[in-house]
Amino acid sequence: MKTDLTSQKISFFSTQPYDKNFFNKYNESGFELDFFETQLNPQTVTLIQNSAVVCVFVNDIVNESVIKQLADKNVKIIALRCAGFNNVDLESAKKYNIKVCRVPAYSPQAVAEHAMAMILTLNRKTHKAYNRVREQNFSLNGLLGFDLHGKTIGIIGTGNIGKAFSKIALGFGCKVLAYDIITNPEMEKDGVVFTDLNTVFKESEIISLHCPLNDATKHIINRNSIALMKDNVMIINTSRGGLINTSDIIVALKDGVVDYLGIDVYEQEEKLFFRDLSEDIIQDDDIQRLMSFPNVLVTAHQAFFTNEALTQIALVTYDNIKSLLLENDIENKSALLV
């Protein structure tokens, strides 16, 4: 794939104004950039013209049908500007000889800090206090929280984000339990206790999900795992919506079995997130039900959304694309998926 970079066009999908700002700012190689606000899917793939590279985000649909059309259009690279890649059919990419790359760790701290922000908000109800005080209601009734110090936080998935989150939790004086398919000795030295998944479910007051969405982790939070948890459990999901069985969590919230839920991701988020739907009638009854609970906090996939993270995303995405175009390879093997 040896080539002159300035003659190359990159087609970006699902772009927001901030994507354009950061990718324009760091386009030091002079790529031609084509920004589409629309999601990539089997219909919108027709928008791509003369691009060797498409750049996609978390909710773009990159299934076999899309990949076949990309191959027909001579697209050589699918560059994810995110870490998770559950929305890309890697087998099809391999079959059609298209390289797939991602940004493995742009700012683990951004996501870890947002997870802790969700915990603190749900616990100390600062969102409610803010609104109350603005209405000159200075009462504390209903705002009772608990000390985080001394509580047990269970982390599922101790990669870049899970590890960053464990340091924050330890800093708050929490006991940290963790489950991952790989134990991390460095984290053990810091005081994290690795254990089996059921022990994390049974012993944690707060459970924070930081594993990828795959066949093994889909609906890892379901009626059976919830049945093992403590009565007053708080569940935080900043990873991928599909980790939680939405119907089961709604039942658990209605029954008061789960005491708090913080989600930055949602199973059906691709029809909702990253858009202003304030004038629309939302057809998704599950998200409406979730948003109606006083003990549920929903943010719209914003955990990654810091200046530092967007800078890293742009820089690493360009580096990945350049390496693939010039060398047909990427030095950081975790960035190259196919």
Q: Which residues are catalytic?
A: 240, 269, 301
**For residue 139, what are the CA distances in angstroms to 136, 284, 293?**
9, 35, 21
Taking the complex as a whole, the smallest distance from the CB of residue 154 to ligand NAD amounts, in Å, to: 11
Residues in the chain: 338
CA gap 179, 211 in Å, rounded: 10
Taking the complex as a whole, the smallest distance from the CB of residue 27 to ligand NAD amounts, in Å, to: 23
Taking the complex as a whole, the smallest distance from the CB of residue 266 to ligand NAD amounts, in Å, to: 11
Taking the complex as a whole, the smallest distance from the CB of residue 155 to ligand NAD amounts, in Å, to: 9
165 and 110 in contact (C-beta within 8 Å)?
no
Closer CB to ligand NAD, residue 73 or residue 212? 212
Binding site for ligand NAD (CB under 6 A): 83-84, 105, 108, 111, 156-162, 179-182, 210-213, 216-217, 238-240, 264-265, 301, 303-304
**For residue 248, what are the CA distances in angstroms to 103, 226, 258, 294?**
32, 9, 10, 18
Q: Which parts of the chain fold into alpha helices (H)?
A: 17-25, 64-72, 90-95, 108-124, 126-134, 160-171, 185-190, 197-203, 223-228, 246-254, 285-292, 307-327
Closer CB to ligand NAD, residue 125 or residue 163? 163
Closer CB to ligand NAD, residue 51 or residue 238? 238
Phi, psi of 158 (to 5 degrees): -115, 50
Residue in the shown chain whose Cβ atom is closest to ligand NAD: 159
Closer CB to ligand NAD, residue 43 or residue 334? 334
